[in-house]
Each structure stands twice: as C-alpha cells, then as structure tokens.
Structure 1
C-alpha cells in the first residue's frame, strides 16, 4: 500500500518521534479538578533519549499535536509575563503547569509538547481539566464537639468536590487570614486565643469561603496552660544556665589570679 508523504508525516507526529520510541514519554494525571477562582498546579514530567537537548516546550488546549500554529497557553519561545498560566518546569525533566485564578473557560484537555534536536513529541492523551463553582467548600473537624478544653488539639480539613492535590487553600479565623496554608489546619496546645469561627477558601481573595466552623476553647482547671508551662520551663532553664556560667567564670578567674609558688613572698626574721 502506497502512502503519500503528507499522510505519513501526520501519523509520525501523532505517534511521536521514532515511531513512539519508549524513550519519549510525558506523565501527568488523566484528569484534574479545579475550583473557579482558585490556583492549581498540574504535576507533569517528561523524558527523552540520552543525548537529546530540549529546545522548546509548549502547553496547548484541545489539540493532539500542539504544533507551531496551534493556540497555546504557554510557549517557552514566546513567554507572556501577564499570563495566568505559569510554567514551573524546565527544559530537562519537569513540565509542571500552574493555573492562577481559574475561570470556567479554562476547562479543556491540555497537551504538553517538547522539541529536541529537530525531533518533537506530544502525548496523544491529554489531561482533562474541569472547573467547578466551588460552592460546596466545607470545613470538617477531627472532633465531634465544637467545645475543646485548653491544651487539647483539633485538625480542620477543607473539602470540596475537587481533590485537593496541589491546590492552594487559605484559612481564616473571624475573617482574618491565617499564615497557615494547605488542605489541613492543625491546632495543638489550644488556648482561649484559638476560640473563633474558622473558614477556608480556594480563592486567595477570600470571596468564596466555606461556612464557618466555630471553635470554643474552655479552661481546664486540672491542666496548666501549655504556653505558660513552656514559658516557665524556658525561664527556669535560662536562669540555671546563667548561674552555672557565672560560677564557672568566677572559678576560672580566681584560679588565674591566685599567685603560684614562684610568686610567693618569703618573709625572713631579722636577728639583732
């Protein structure tokens, strides 16, 4: 069967270089869920035969070949500083893509393409990205009761329809942002200062937050406050160390200033 050169070229592009040589690979999840307004990171890695030098990488939506004229969200030869799509990878192994402040229109099937020494490879199966409205974001707690005694601990988890793999999660207490980030918030050695309404959000602006989860920390008469115990312990240890150091310094100084045998003054009695 005779095949014209154009058809053969297209088939080779779809299959990858060298007839889908196993040395050319791209790995990323089959699907990825993102909450609208949030920032998500799609993990990706690629490999190629030894001796190849990658010259260009591209991410594009809804295209199996992702060639030069295909609309793309990232192109290493034409970087757009204002793009919401940030390439966190390199030209060696990492092809991770970050999507900032996702919108509904970002839902697509994304493909990664890399070019090396004149060869090129695009994984035929892309990663399908879905975008949800995020209205089902909730806070779940490791304890059943909202009232916890001083010195106790609780773990709050932010959940939604999307898996939280590589998603940015922001936490708030009484509407004020906390420094902790991530899907789980660990609160240990609780004091009254931890009392408040906790919310989480996948939107860094804090506009789309979960319903509040109220935490009340009550005094436990039979237990000392963790912070007080720690501060007292640190203070006592510091004082003891200071006293020991002063004693050692005094002994060393006294030993050095005491006259030795060669400096002893001999008094002789004068006989008249």
Structure 2
C-alpha cells in the first residue's frame, strides 16, 4: 500500500510511537509505589517547540489524553482542585507533582498535559502509582557495626519495600522527634549525645514507624589518651616550675646570706682598725711622760750646788 507523502508527514508530526516529535515530549518514571499516609512526588519534565507559550497544565488519572472533560487531580485553570495535590513545576520545563498524605484511592496511572498558545500535548505513557500499607518500613545504615567511634560519621536511610520518593520522612531518637527530615539522615562529628535508638516514620502521625536502629558512639582511644595526657603534662610542668622557683629562691637567699656575711666581716674589720689606732695614741703619750721625768734634777745635784755656793 502506497502512502501519500503529505499524509506521512502529518503522521510524523503526531505524538506517539509512529509520529514521535522530539520537540513535544513529557518525561516521567514508568511506575513507583508510595506508602500510605506519606508524602511523595512524581518527578516530571516536558519540552515543546521554541516560540510557544504554555498557558495551562493538567494532571489527570487513568486517561491518556486528559481532555477538558476528564476528571483531574490538578488543573492550573481550576482553583477547586484537591489541595492534597500540589504542582511543584512551572510553565517552562518542570511538571513535578506532589501528593500529600497519600491515600489508598490515590493508586492510579497519572498523566500530564500542557497546552500552549498553539496546541496541546499529553504524555500518553503516564506513570503508574501504587499505594502500600508500609508495614515493612526499615532503617538502614551506611555502617555494619552499631558502634561508631567518636568523631566518626554515619548515614541512616529510611526504606520500604517500594521505591518511594519521600519529602516528609520524620526521624526520631529515643522517641523524640529530630529536626532533620528526608529519607536520609546524615550524622557527622559524632559524640556521646548521638547515642540512641533511631526510628523513621513516613507520616507526621508516627503511626507507621520503623523498628529502632541502635547507635552507640564509642570514645576515641587516641582522644582519651590525649585528654588524660593534658592534665598529666600540666601537673609535671607545674611541679617543674615550682622546683625551679624554689631553686631560684634558695640561690637568692644564699647570695643574700653571703653578702650579709661580707658586710658583717667588713664592719668587724673596721672596728678592729679603729681600736688599734686608739691604743697607739695612748702609748705615745705615756712614752712622752717618761722622758720628761728622767730630765728633772734629783736631790744629788742640789747638794753639789749648795756646796759650791758655800
């Protein structure tokens, strides 16, 4: 059978396997499952020929065309859409859809459609979303041993039987809620405060909670040795400086004592010299008096003189 070239060109422009046009395209995963009560996202992106402007976006279920008469979960032109379905995309390339607190009835095949000022296009493949009860939620760790050295790190991941895309995974330590959210919990620079039982929940109610994963942070032996060595070294240094101060003080006392003895000796020598000088003066005086007594005339000369006169 011969096909008219014009007809063939038209078919090539039509969306679908036969006439796939790379300028018109919607991309999302084939399928994934979601745990009931959790928040999930359907990742999605789209393209269209340059020069066109997107005016409306629609997410519908179980219909590969998403026509205006088809029930939808989100319509940018309809403000009465279910508030549990939030459009995280834009009118350029991103068409991601967020489903809050997923319910069992949300299980369906979802399709995205966008309409431009020229024409519309629907990703006919769609993405199949299944909803499970999530009884097998588990915490997995990046380390096999539950004991991690102080200062180390560990990553805990909240998992279930299906590959869900979680935005609001809640984490708990010893039953107390942590501020961190997301399917992975990164713990670094571990201290003893991080020791405890960790659980995760896929909804804020905490009803679907995993079994606990116990983490024990062991003290780093090297750090313990350093912590013990610091006060020991401090004590040794203190004793050394005390001994040094005592030695300096003793040397100063000894020097002061020697100086005092020298001063005292000098004072004694000065006193002795003064006493010796005083005794010499007394002796000279006595010697002088003795010489005077010898030169005085005695009685014998007086008698001779008397005789001559007579």
TM over 0.5: same fold? yes
Distance 2:26 2:216 in 1: 49
Distance 1:37 1:162 in 2: 14
**Structure-2 change in CA distance of 1:213 and 1:116 (3 Å):** same
Unpaired runs of at least 5, structure 1: 2-10, 229-272
1:57 is aligned to 57
Q: How many aligned positions are there?
A: 215
**Structure-2 change in CA distance of 1:200 and 1:216 (3 Å):** same
Distance 1:51 1:166 in 2: 36
Kept after mapping to 1: 8 A contact 2:166/2:183: no
Q: Which of the pair has more CA radius of gyration?
A: 2
**Structure-2 change in CA distance of 1:127 and 1:150 (3 Å):** same
**Structure-2 change in CA distance of 1:108 and 1:164 (3 Å):** closer
Q: CA deviation at 1:188?
A: 2.1
**Structure-2 change in CA distance of 1:50 and 1:36 (3 Å):** same
Note the 1:1-272 alignment, pairs <5 A.
15=15, 20-80=20-80, 83-165=83-165, 167-224=167-224
Q: CA deviation at 1:200?
A: 0.9
Distance 2:131 2:50 in 1: 38
Distance 2:32 2:97 in 1: 12
Kept after mapping to 2: 8 A contact 1:57/1:75: yes
TM-score by length of 2: 0.63
Distance 2:134 2:209 in 1: 9
After superposing on structure 2, the runs of 4+ consecutive aligned residues of structure 1 that deviate more than 6 Å are none
- Indicate the structure whose relative CO is greater, using CA pairs within 8 Å and at least 6 residues apart: 1
Distance 1:59 1:148 in 2: 47
Distance 1:107 1:50 in 2: 35
Q: CA deviation at 1:166?
A: 5.0
TM-score by length of 1: 0.71
Q: CA deviation at 1:197?
A: 1.0
**Structure-2 change in CA distance of 1:30 and 1:224 (3 Å):** same
Q: What do residues 186-245 of structure 1 show as CA deviations (whole Å, max 9, x unaligned)? A: 2222222111110011112222110011122233453159xx9xxxxxxxxxxxxxxxxx
Q: CA deviation at 1:81?
A: 6.7
**Structure-2 change in CA distance of 1:158 and 1:52 (3 Å):** same
Q: Secondary structure at the match of 1:179?
A: strand
Q: Would you tell me which structure has more helix in proportion to its own residues?
A: 2
Q: CA deviation at 1:147?
A: 2.9
1:232 is aligned to none
Q: CA deviation at 1:140?
A: 1.6
Bigger mean CA deviation after superposition, 139-148 or 61-70 = 139-148
Kept after mapping to 1: 8 A contact 2:36/2:103: yes
Q: CA deviation at 1:89?
A: 1.0
Kept after mapping to 1: 8 A contact 2:31/2:129: yes
Unpaired runs of at least 5, structure 2: 2-10, 228-310
Structural RMSD (CA): 2.6
